[in-house]
Amino acid sequence: MKTTCWISLALAATAASALVIAAPQDKKVERKGVGYINTPSIPGTKWVVHDGDRPQPRIIKPGESFSHLAKPPSDATVLFDGTDLSQWTGGKTGTPGWKVENGHMEVVGGTGSIQTKGKFADFQLHLEFATPVEVKGEGQQRGNSGVLFNGIYEVQVLDSFGNQTYPDGQCAALYGQSPPLVNASKGPGQWQSYDIIFESPRWDENKQNIKKAAVTVIHNGVVVHHRREYLGNTPHLRTGNYNSPHAPEVFIQLQDHGNPMRFRNIWLRKLGEYDDNAGK
């Protein structure tokens, strides 16, 4: 009887501890529904990071995406044309371990994230992605990846079709900061598109941030962020900051989160300044 009691108590303690997650500075945060409580407050909002009580973005049905497999503009830098990963590096060995087949690349879980060899400042990025056809898991465990600029400013990639999670972690969210204006996700296995305009942050000679990173994100032809500023980097369970200055030129990273996500038709255009290329 005593043995049974101790076992029951141990199991209860284990179950309770599963809801408590270590956070920065030894602070304990707890799961609540699809989100967390006791995480840091997001500046300028009444919400905390990954707040499950934050309003869920309104679901809409996107129209036809004109850009699927469309040829890139003549002045674009092609980052992936469906044939190889020659423009990419990374993974645990420095050589991408992702598969390339049938005109797309696919995450091989555990091989590591990949990033562009080149670095760019102030640009337009186009890419297409598909979450797995076979639905596995829920919340953040379902069709998870991300597009990260310099590895620290993330636009979330997730299967958000009938899959509820904390709003600042759903598809097209600026992770941990800003949910998309609407949920324009398509179903599992369907090709989706991101058109992202990224404006690089800037620091002065005293390493003081004078311009925040900002993005405009068009998801499946629908504007979900309009020149939205990042509050800093986008870590899990924390608020971001601009305490680590870097050059305006950044690499583009695609995240290995363990799910067999697919990507195709990736290209980029540098924005430049007005009149820079007039008549050329």
Number of domains the chain contains: 1
pLDDT digits (tens, 9 = 90+) for 183-205: 999 999 999 999 999 999 999 99
- Please check whether residue 87 lies inside any domain of the structure: yes
pLDDT digits (tens, 9 = 90+) for 32-65: 899 999 999 999 999 999 999 999 999 999 998 7
pLDDT digits (tens, 9 = 90+) for 141-167: 999 999 999 999 999 999 999 999 999
- C-alpha distance from residue 138 to each of 60, 163, 236 (Å): 20, 6, 18
- Please check whether residue 30 lies inside any domain of the structure: no
DSSP state of 9: H
- Please check whether residue 77 lies inside any domain of the structure: yes
pLDDT digits (tens, 9 = 90+) for 50-104: 999 999 999 999 998 777 899 999 999 999 999 999 999 987 788 999 999 999 9
- Please check whether residue 142 lies inside any domain of the structure: yes
The residue segments making up the domain with residue 68 are: 54-270
- Please check whether residue 178 lies inside any domain of the structure: yes
Decide: 123 and 143 in contact? Cβ < 8 Å: no
- Please check whether residue 46 lies inside any domain of the structure: no
Judge if pTM exceeds 0.85.
yes
- Please check whether residue 19 lies inside any domain of the structure: no
- Please check whether residue 117 lies inside any domain of the structure: yes
Query: In CATH, what number is assigned to the domain containing residue 257?
Result: 2.60.120.560
Which strand (E) or helix (H) includes residue 216? strand 214-219
